[in-house]
Amino acid sequence: MHLAWKLWLETEGKVFGPGPAELLEHVARSGSLRKAAGELDMSYSKAYWTLRALEDRLGFPLLTRPVGGMSGGGSTLTTEALDLLTRYRALEAEAEVTLEELFAKHFG
């Protein structure tokens, strides 16, 4: 038997979790929302609207929009998006270690 868990950030409802984190990481690596969507087997429009909704809930932009707009030249993460992503992954990594310790304590 092992421990399984999920964590995410909320304001009114769900704000940020594993899905958006993965999408942002792919944008950061590929420099393009279209490529990121493709790598994740997601339609470009789903990826686009996911990020637009996320920006509304967070209140800050996630992608820089170079000439041609979001669908044009390419996309990189804003400083705020990188900061959020870094904090989220750090929280998740420490949560994993801590939760495994607690599981071993109670079920080991």
Q: For binding to a copy of itself (CB under 8 A), which residues are involved?
A: 1-11, 14-15, 87-88, 90-91, 94-95, 98-99, 102-103, 105-107
Max CA-CA distance within the chain?
Answer: 56
- Report the chain's terminal Cα–Cα distance, integer Å: 10
Q: For a copy of itself, which is the closer residue by CB, 5 or 49?
A: 5
Question: Rounded to the nearest whole angstrom, what is the least distance from the CB of residue 106 to a copy of itself in the complex?
Answer: 4
Sign of CA dihedral 10, 15, 21, 25: negative
CB of 59 to a copy of itself, least distance (A): 10
